[in-house]
A and B are shown apart, each in its own frame.
Chain A
Amino acid sequence: MSITSTAALHRQPTLQVDPIACEGHGVCAELFGEWIRLDDWGYPVIRKDAVPEDLLPHARWAVSNCPALALSLRKP
């Protein structure tokens, strides 16, 4: 990874779940498997680092399809 892309990553948002709102539908892991996996109980385990530019469309897709509106992209 080049220095410029690292710098760019710092301004990238992270993907967060509101654990109270999340109902464990698991749709998100299907839509954005690169970033989200489900734990043994069907709840999403999300990578903590910033979502890189090229994956942002997938992230947004997951956010807008979460039936519980539990996912969000947050700028650092």
Chain B
Amino acid sequence: MDGNPRPETDRRVDGRHRRIMVTQAGIRVSTSPGPARLLSHVVPSGGIATLRQHRQAYPHPHGADPDEVRTAAAASGLGGRGGAGFPIGRKLASVSELGGHIVVVNATEGEPASQKDRMLLTSVPHLVLDGAELAARAVSASQVVVCVDWTDRLAVAAVKAAIAERTARGEPEIQLALTPPRYVAGEESALVNFLNGGPSKPTASGRRPYERGVNGRPTLVNNAETLAQLTLAHRYGPEWFRSCGTPDEPGTRLFTITSGGGVATVVEAPVGVTGLDLLDAADAAGRVRSVLVGGYFGTWMRAADFGVAAFSRAGLAPYGAGPGAGIVIVLPHGNCVLAETARLLSWYAAESSGQCGPCVFGLPALAEVAAELARGTAGPAGVQQLLRWAADIDGRGACRHPDGAVRLLRSALAVAGDDLDAHVAGQPCPGAEAAPFIRAAS
């Protein structure tokens, strides 16, 4: 785990020799199951990787050949790591054809249960910033702006320091934009709207930012991890990049696993890793009631299904789940899926940007009846009403925010099993009385 990066074959860590460390920002990081690609750059003492260390292995991207960057991105098969999973190679190609203007690094980490982007910014910021500069070369953009949640003081300080280090070396300037801490603020169109001087709310223009974004010009918006991965793919080549993961979704990805006591651990593993290996890496494999895959914006899965499922788009699809931003919340026995879901639905209602009727009125309605169900007072009619509303609300906002609430609710009803029957019968499971497990939702 020195700061000197090498292809992962040298650094495979045996799953049984779990190495857990804590970074300077207080984020727990586990290097099993490995390979540690991004994580091999995290300095074990917990300090931030300096630009001087970083430049020993990575020359500044201003010399990079745009064609070469686009080819490396496309041939590596790197997909977005922020949620949508869109291939970055295709994004770079479209924006470059339209004539890129600005590269936006989405490090807002709107998903409350995610820590990975925060970890990257506070430990290895130059991997992210170099990825953004590479992307800017590839689409001939003249500006790079990094968006960070302004309440995240450590991340803001780390990015400021990293930008100052670069400026002091005479490297091109990178801008920092501080964004408000609301979930939908991280949504692409909301971010672009905010950078254009508007409110950080999604827009219904139907135009994607890569066609018409900041200042009405083609804008590349990428998640922080995606850009850090791009730095590696460009430096070590597509063949190396594809040497782990699945053929359709190559490489590693970062996961944030929250388990007992609300402890979050960032884990790096190949796409396609089994759920059990992931939980094991974070020391979270015991006493699992259910697993919320994808975080607040995710889908509940039964513990048994999650354990054997391959964590990839294809592997999770049969369960109605998706990789999202790699977030896993492990609900222990003794907690209630329905009660957690009801609180999450209140969170969804509070996070609405307040623009679309079905979202503004539908989400609080869902939250209220879900809370009654959790208390055991909703009865069978309550469940029917929830399902009817879910069908009505699905797909009817200007952004996917309400769809996330609907998916969460449907999956909770599907995995609750016997507990659901008990709640419907007016005898809620004992976990309904337990202290909330999912924190920000309480």
Task: Classify the interface of chain B: helix, strand, loop or mixed.
Answer: helix
Partner of B397, one of A19, A21, A24, A42: A19
Mask, A58-73, CB within 8 Å of B = 1, is 0000000000000000
Whether a CB of chain A sits under 8 angstroms from the CB of B407 is no
Q: Is the beta-carbon distance between A42 and B357 smaller than 8 angstroms? A: yes
Give bound CA distance, A19 to B202, whole Å.
11
Chain B residue contacts of A45, Cβ below 8 A: 392, 396
Chain A residue contacts of B384, Cβ below 8 A: none
Q: Is the beta-carbon distance between B396 and A18 smaller than 8 angstroms? A: no
Q: Is the beta-carbon distance between A18 and B398 smaller than 8 angstroms? A: yes
Q: Is the beta-carbon distance between A19 and B398 smaller than 8 angstroms? A: yes
What's the least CB distance linking A42 to chain B, in Å? 7
Give bound CA distance, A24 to B392, whole Å.
15
Mask, B390-422, CB within 8 Å of A = 1, is 001100111000000000000000000000000
Q: Is the beta-carbon distance between B361 and A19 smaller than 8 angstroms? A: no
Give bound CA distance, A18 to B355, whole Å.
10
Known contacts: A20-B356, A22-B356. The answer to whether A43 contacts B396 by CB under 8 A is yes
Whether a CB of chain B sits under 8 angstroms from the CB of A40 is yes
Q: Is the beta-carbon distance between A22 and B392 smaller than 8 angstroms? A: no
Q: Is the beta-carbon distance between A19 and B362 smaller than 8 angstroms? A: no
Closest residue of chain B to A70, judged by CB? B204
Whether a CB of chain B sits under 8 angstroms from the CB of A30 is no
Partner of A43, one of B204, B355, B358, B389: B358
Chain B residue contacts of A39, Cβ below 8 A: 357-358, 362, 392-393, 396
Q: Is the beta-carbon distance between B392 and A40 smaller than 8 angstroms? A: yes
Closest residue of chain B to A19, judged by CB? B356
Chain B residue contacts of A41, Cβ below 8 A: 357-358, 361-362, 365
Closest residue of chain A to B353, judged by CB? A20
Give bound CA distance, A42 to B397, whole Å.
14
Chain B residue contacts of A40, Cβ below 8 A: 361, 365, 389, 392
Known contacts: A19-B397, A39-B362. The answer to whether A24 contacts B357 by CB under 8 A is yes
Closest residue of chain B to A41, judged by CB? B361
Closest residue of chain A to B358, judged by CB? A43
What's the least CB distance linking A22 to chain B, in Å? 6
B350-377 at interface with A (beta carbon < 8 Å)? 355-359, 361-362, 365
Enumerate chain B interface residues (CB-CB to A < 8 A): 203-204, 355-359, 361-362, 365, 389, 392-393, 396-398
Beyond known contacts A40-B365, A43-B358, A45-B396: 11 more, CB 8 A cutoff: A19-B357, A19-B398, A20-B204, A20-B398, A23-B357, A24-B357, A39-B357, A41-B358, A41-B365, A43-B396, A45-B392
30 contacts between A and B (CB under 8 A): A18-B398, A19-B356, A19-B357, A19-B358, A19-B359, A19-B397, A19-B398, A20-B203, A20-B204, A20-B356, A21-B204, A22-B357, A23-B357, A24-B357, A39-B357, A39-B358, A39-B362, A39-B392, A39-B393, A40-B361, A40-B365, A41-B357, A41-B358, A41-B361, A41-B365, A42-B357, A43-B357, A43-B358, A43-B361, A43-B396
